[in-house]
Each structure stands twice: as C-alpha cells, then as structure tokens.
Amino acid sequence: MTLGTSPQPEGLTKPPLHELMNHADSKYALLIFGAKRAKQINDYFLQIKQGMLKDVGPLVPYVNNEQPLSIAFREINEGLIEGKLGSEDNTDSHAGSKVINDSISLSAQDLVDSDDGGDDIDEEEEEAEEEEGEGEEDIDE
C-alpha cells in the first residue's frame, strides 16, 4: 500500500519531444526557438509587476508554478507560434527572434481583434501621438 500520489514527471515530457520535432528541423533549432519564446514569457511576467506590458503573454492556459520553457514548448506544439531556423539564420543571431516576434505579433493581433477593447487602446495611442506632435510644433514657432 502506497501513500500519497505516484510521481508523474512533467516538464519536457509534456509535450513529448517527438511531437515537438514536427515543428522544427533539429533539436538545436527547437531549443533556440523555445528558449527565445520562454524569455519573452518571462519578460511578460516581470512587466506585469512593473505595470508596463510590451511582450505577449502565454497563449495557452498555464498554472502559476509552470516554467516559461514548458509554456513555450506547449505553444509550439499547439501551433500557436512557429518559426524556422535556416542556414541564413546561422550568421544572424537576431533573425530567429524576428520570426518569433512576427509570429507572436500576429497571434497577439488576432487576440486583440477578437477582443472588443482592443480598438480603444489604438485610439488612445493615436491621440497621445497627436498631442506630442502638436507640442513639438509649438516649440518650433
């Protein structure tokens, strides 16, 4: 008779590696892609505490103690973000992050478009930019 629950390891076992490999050319590319997305997720959580959101948060449901890398791999497995590291990306270390940022921006835009409150943010930003532009004109005169 055993007491408690039986250990069920998670982490990189969910989703399994063979499923994740369908979304990448190599384990190396998968690791780089997942790590860059995990950094964005981690930055998002830090920005929540500071009250200034610049990065896109997790696109899948998560629990509080879940690691950003696990969240990133689940997003990749579900096809919410995608990116490929090709031969031209080997020379430019920022090319992979551009693919991630573009993919996430599209996904985030889809989320904003489906939310009714997204338009208000754009209008407020435009008004703020117009006010800044008017202030600069006054200085020149």
Contact 63, 10 (CB under 8 A): no
pTM of the model: 0.54
Spatial separation of the C-alpha atoms in residues 61 and 136, rounded to whole Å? 44
Name the residue ranges covered by the structural domains of the chain.
11-140
User: What string of pLDDT tens digits covers the 141 residues of the chain?
Assistant: 566 665 665 556 678 888 888 888 899 999 999 999 999 999 999 999 898 888 889 999 998 889 999 999 999 999 998 776 554 444 344 444 444 555 554 444 444 444 444 444 444 455 555 555 554 444 444
